[in-house]
Amino acid sequence: MRLAPAQRVPQILDAALQEFPRRGFTAARMDDIAQRCGLSKGGLYAHFDSKDAIFKALLDRSLNRTDWAQMPQLAAGADTRAVAEWTVDRLHAALLAPEVITLVRLLIPERERVPLRVDEWKKLTQQHTQQVMAVIHHNLEASGRKDTVLARHPWLVLSPIVHVLLWHTVFGEGAEPDPHYRQAHIDMLCELLA
Q: Over 70: is that where the pLDDT of 154 sits? A: yes
pLDDT value of position 112 = 81
pLDDT in tens, 34-86: 999 999 999 999 999 999 899 889 888 887 777 777 777 777 787 889 888 98
Give 167 or 176, the one with higher predicted confidence. 167
Give 81 or 153, the one with higher predicted confidence. 81
Q: Distance from first CA to last CA of the chain, Å, rounded?
A: 56
CA nearest to 161, candidates 64, 73, 93, 80: 93
pLDDT in tens, 8-38: 999 999 999 999 988 888 889 999 999 999 9
Cβ atoms of 20 and 37 within 8 Å: the answer is no
What is the chain's mean pLDDT, rounded?
85
Give the Cα separation of 155 and 151 in Å (integer): 9
Give the Cα separation of 33 and 30 in Å (integer): 5
The pTM (predicted TM-score) of the whole model is 0.79
Q: Over 70: is that where the pLDDT of 1 sits? A: no
Cβ atoms of 88 and 186 within 8 Å: the answer is yes
Angle at 13 between CA 8 and CA 14, to 5 degrees: 95
Q: Over 80: is that where the pLDDT of 124 sits? A: no
pLDDT value of position 119 = 84
Q: Is 90 helix (H, G, I), strand (E, B) or coil?
A: helix
pLDDT value of position 9 = 93
